[in-house]
Chains A and B, each alone.
Chain A
Amino acid sequence: MGQALSPEGTLSRQGGRSPSLRQALTRWLVNWLPALPMLVLAYGLLAAPVLALLLQSFQGDDGHFTLVNWVEVLTSRGDRRAILTSLLLGSVSATTALLVGAPIAWWISQLLPRGRSLWLSLLNTATNFSGIGLAFGFVAILGNYGMITLAFQDLGVPFMPPAPNTFWGLVLAYNYTNIPLFILLTIAGMGMLRQDWWEAAQTCGATQARFWRSIGLPILAPFLGAGWLLVFTWSIGLYGIPFALAGNGATRKVSLITLVIGDSLQASISGQGEAAVLAMVLLMIAVISLLTYRWMLGRTARWF
């Protein structure tokens, strides 16, 4: 490998290495290029921002690592109340959606195809009414000059429906989409409960109540639980509807995690560390629900 050979030698050595490198690169490009723009978008605008918030939640104003933000959020009465109210609102919404939605899903699943598709159309239509428009719909029926409020005043009934800016008003507005979604999600699971099981149970002398307690509910439980979890998670993450309904600043009666995050983003650059912590709280809630949800749906496989 003397000097004399060097020009050709280096050339050939390079020629020997670079094609294989180039080949590897080409192979990689062939494998990934068509998907690359999409993956860049998905990781860049979905995964990376979450990571950025995670880091930000541990960063002080000077940029150094600190737990101050976490300590402040967990000891602040306002933030703790927002977290508790969000969890409570999510659970109450999901539970009412379950209590109303589960029996209705069962009845609809037992209908003949025509009646079934009529109901499904109605439910699908309702899920399209969302966002700020839906918030307005609830102001239009429950607000100071809302249809139901006026109806009660007209009739002289001394009962007032919950105002849209209260906890129960929000539950009503949330469940407008939650109940139809719960039904649409669980109706497929209802088909798992087979008619012959009910006949077999009857042959053994079981009452309808006994059938539901010992056979029906245990089989449907994972589906119902998974539906509950999804409604719970979505409800906690809602922002537009409560923002439009709950009012601003001092007039706000219900404080939620998403609203507190929105407030601090509108207000200023500082204080975003605490908002990042609250965002991580939402992330943890979402991850825990997702894991529980997968575990629950995994259990449905036991029966088949």
Chain B
Amino acid sequence: MVLDRRLLPSLGRGLLLTGLVIYLLLPIGAVLLYAFSTRWTNHILPDGYTASHWLQALADPRLVAVMLRTLGLALLVTLLDILLIVPAIYWQWIHNPRIRPHLELTAAIPFVLPYVVIAFGILSLSGQFLPAALGTVWLLALGHGAIAFPFFYWAVDNAMAAADVALLNEVAKTCGASPWRILAQVILPNISAGIATGSMLVFAVSFNEFALVQILVGARYETVSLYSLDLLTGTNADFNKLAVITVFTFGIVFSLSALSVYLNRGQGQTRRLMIGSRSKV
């Protein structure tokens, strides 16, 4: 009887955990199969396998252009966030703590407010005050920079707190270093892991983002998300090509996230239940 009581919960646990693993692996597995399948309309597994979709994808000028555009945008957004946010956080730590409430308040906005609302707001606001910016990739880059800013902010802010930037700054100043020299030679080397983590999160957000791209620029700047949607629901849907793109995108986002977990060994795996440490999907 004792055995029964202990067996039953562990059976339930086993079923639940197995179910979760299957649930998490099935969609990825099906996409992988699609990327290598010939025809797949009759049985649980494809009728045959081929690598031709990958070769065709590499030779497709539209796909290559889409990849380059998405990559270029993500790099631009990452650079923008590094250049704008690092000085702001640095200054907040060493000189003006009153900057912090402003950063925290605005960082909460993309965390709780749907991207579709932010995109709509940017569209409406720029329509009123800056019609020339409408539909440009620059406005999109600024928008991505804004919605990805919390991830970068939290990563770098944590790094600055951990490195005790204020103390480092005092010490370097006592030794007579100029502010720029302190930033370049003392602060940046100490927070580089935080900057790397933040940059990867920003890059991943921009690379995979859909709402702002669709609402702010649409077909004028076709990214991976828009092209994927076209291949999924458009008139000339192509699941095999879509599978290749999806596997590729997932690979990029996954390697970035694995790298950022590796850089923050020991603390990067779970997420604190506080505004300040998750990646929004």
Name A's B-contacting residues (CB within 8 A): 30-32, 34-35, 37-39, 41-43, 45-50, 52-53, 56, 100, 103-104, 107, 117, 120-141, 145-148, 150-151, 154, 176-177, 179-181, 184-189, 223, 226-227, 230, 233-234, 236-240, 243-244, 247-248, 258, 261-262, 265, 272, 275-276, 279, 282-283, 286-287, 289-290, 297
Known contacts being A38-B87, A265-B123, is A136 close to B228, with CB within 8 Å?
Answer: yes
A-B contact pairs, 12 of them (CB 8 A): A41-B142, A41-B149, A50-B109, A100-B20, A117-B269, A122-B21, A128-B204, A140-B30, A176-B23, A179-B20, A187-B270, A287-B112
| Residue B177, interface by CB 8 Å | no
Q: How far is the CB of B277 from chain A (nearest CB, A)?
A: 9
Q: Please name all residues of chain B whose beta carbon is closer than 8 Å to the beta carbon of A139 when the two chains form the complex.
A: 232, 239
Chain B's interface size range is: 35 or more
CA distance A46 to B150 in the complex (A): 11
A181 touching B278, Cβ below 8 Å: yes
CA distance A171 to B205 in the complex (A): 23
Per-position 1/0 for B18-58, Cβ under 8 A of A: 00110110111111011000001111100000000000000
B112 touching A50, Cβ below 8 Å: no
Q: Looking across the interface, which residue of chain A has its beta carbon closest to that of B146? A: A45
B99 touching A137, Cβ below 8 Å: no
B91 touching A35, Cβ below 8 Å: yes
Among B61-69, B160-168, B185-193, B247-255, which stretch is in contact with chain A? B247-255
| Residue B136, interface by CB 8 Å | no
| Residue B178, interface by CB 8 Å | no
CA distance A135 to B48 in the complex (A): 24
Q: Looking across the interface, which residue of chain A has its beta carbon closest to that of B210? A: A240
Q: How far is the CB of B168 from chain A (nearest CB, A)?
A: 17
Known contacts being A38-B84, A240-B210, A297-B274, is A124 close to B269, with CB within 8 Å?
Answer: yes
A262 touching B228, Cβ below 8 Å: no
| Residue B233, interface by CB 8 Å | yes
How many contacts between A and B, using CB within 8 angstroms? 275
B26 touching A32, Cβ below 8 Å: no
A39 touching B26, Cβ below 8 Å: no
User: Dominant SS at the B interface?
Assistant: helix
Known contacts being A38-B84, A117-B269, A236-B114, is A133 close to B92, with CB within 8 Å?
Answer: no
Selected contact of B109 from candidates A46, A138, A233, CB within 8 Å: A46
A147 touching B26, Cβ below 8 Å: yes
Q: Which of B114, B115, B228 has the most CB of A within 10 A?
A: B114
B273 touching A226, Cβ below 8 Å: yes
Selected contact of A53 from candidates B21, B91, B120, B245, CB within 8 Å: B120
Chain B, range 205-219, C-beta contacts under 8 Å to A: 208-211, 214-215
Selected contact of B114 from candidates A100, A227, A237, A243, CB within 8 Å: A237
A104 touching B270, Cβ below 8 Å: no
Q: Looking across the interface, which residue of chain A has its beta carbon closest to that of B271? A: A184
Per-position 1/0 for B150-164, Cβ under 8 A of A: 000000000000000
| Given contact pairs A117-B269, A184-B278, a sample of 17 additional A-B residue pairs in the complex whose CB atoms are under 8 Å apart | A31-B98, A37-B84, A48-B121, A49-B124, A52-B128, A103-B16, A124-B258, A129-B27, A131-B225, A133-B31, A139-B232, A150-B43, A179-B23, A181-B278, A185-B272, A230-B273, A283-B113
B106 touching A140, Cβ below 8 Å: no
Q: How far is the CB of A231 from chain B (nearest CB, A)?
A: 11
